[in-house]
Amino acid sequence: MKSRANNAENQGCVLIVDDEDALRRALARTLSKQGYQVVDASSGSLALELLDTHDVDVVVSDIRMPGMDGMALLRLVREQKPDVPFVLLTGTPDVATAVKAVGYGAFEYLTKPDDLPRLGESVAKAIEAHRAAITRRRILEAATRAKVAKPGSRRAIDGGMVLDGRYRVGRLLGAGGMGTVYEGRREDLAGMPVAIKVLHPRLSDQQEILARFRREAEVVATIDHPNIVKVIDFVAAPDGPVFLVMELLHGDTLATSIERDPPFSERRVAFIASQVLAALGAAHAVNVIHRDLKPENLVLTTLAGIEDVVKLLDFGIAKLLAADGHQRLTETGLTLGTPAYMAPEYARGEAATVAGDLYALGCVMYEALTRQQPFTGTNYNAILFAIQQKQPPPLRDLRPDVSPELTAVIERAIAKDPADRFPTARAMDDALAPWLARGATRAPSSTTAGLGTTPTLESPSVPPKNRS
């Protein structure tokens, strides 16, 4: 039987993994004094045994250990216990390892001894994230039970309202064609900040739209990748609004950064694109195509002092490729998506494929470097014609300093023929490896964040773009 202390002061169970006995015991004493139940292991293999016998809320592990190191343990924990956050400790920090840790799903990356004083804070945030992750298990059940209400039964949303008895609505963050996004708080989880995406009342009685909104919750909850915004809940009660609850992001959209920041360097574009490719790869692995990749759907956050950590948003028109009996919500013949980033085959009404997402990312990279979209037009049809029949302005005419090698990567990504593009997200990511090897940009040392901290859909200094 798994053990869990019943002491009212216990705030959660922490597993500490470190082969250095003195440090491991010191950390255990410190966290125990803060009210946590603590179990410890001197190796990765012992840690895995403890995970099977204890209800662990967060793992704190050193990176450098004999046998199974912390990075290998992280990957195994993410496979076996995907809801359990993982905090990595290192005495020899380097940006490349930190970036790799993010890709593997680390909650936070701390250095010894400088960051140890805030370990308790990190553990608290990780446990909060773990408990929120557990609630995501309700999403698929709630989505399955969702029913369409009778016309006129949906109420308008006002600040201060409490939805589903738990979510208090705060200020408006943005609005789009399908829904409105509000800041909110989950009152049954100590006021945890969240983002609430409410389906427009006029759409909530339409079966197809409601199904697409519900599918967004199902898709994102299924993928559960660190570079994809987390969906915490989905609610569609007959007598209330239909809404998604997501983590609240602190950062700017890529669209805002392109407009506001100095011209992007090759390294910055490659770093951002690599994370998007990791998110797309996870989606493609479960036969999901995003279909609406654009700068407005990419939020840049900060993790452990590393800037430009990507969160991919809005799977509202995602397409399921697997013929597994699920309803296909976007069929061949529909040109859904944002025209400027739409692959030529989409513009012709052909089926969605992996190549279409990679094409959209190529357009995003082109825009990040040049501050202009590769294809423009005076109206929707003119853009669709340009996408199918014209070539974009040569990238190096707009940015002569960009290397031929990166230009070639982007040109391959936006090739007219899908067969001429990269075959997979991994293949395109491999092509970006030379730029990633040069490191990543770091934020000022006073900035602290983690994957479990709550992200915002707007910049504190720049008004948010409207979004759905």
Distance of alpha carbon 163 from alpha carbon 234, whole angstroms: 11
- List the structure tokens of 122: 């990190």
Name residue 63's amino acid.
I
Partners of 236 in beta bridges: 242
CB atoms within 10 A of CB 310: 23
Number of residues that this document lists for the chain:
468
Q: Is residue 292 annotated as a catalytic residue, yes or no?
A: yes
DSSP assignment of 170-233: EEEEEE-SSEEEEEEEEGGGTTEEEEEEEEPTTTTT-HHHHHHHHHHHHHHHHH--TTBPPEEE
Question: Is the alpha carbon torsion for 75, 249, 290, 363 positive or negative?
Answer: negative
Cβ–Cβ < 8 Å for 68, 43: yes
The 10 Å Cβ neighbour count of residue 95 is 15
Q: Of residues 62, 292, 357, 429, which has the active-site annotation?
A: 292
**What is the strand order of the sheet 231-236 is part of?**
162-163, 167-175, 179-186, 192-199, 242-246, 231-236
How many angstroms separate the CA atoms of 10 and 12, rounded? 6
Cβ atoms of 138 and 188 closer than 8 Å: no
Rounded CA Rg of the chain:
23
Q: Which of 113, 16, 18 is nearest to 65 (CA)?
A: 18
Active-site residues, by number, are: 292
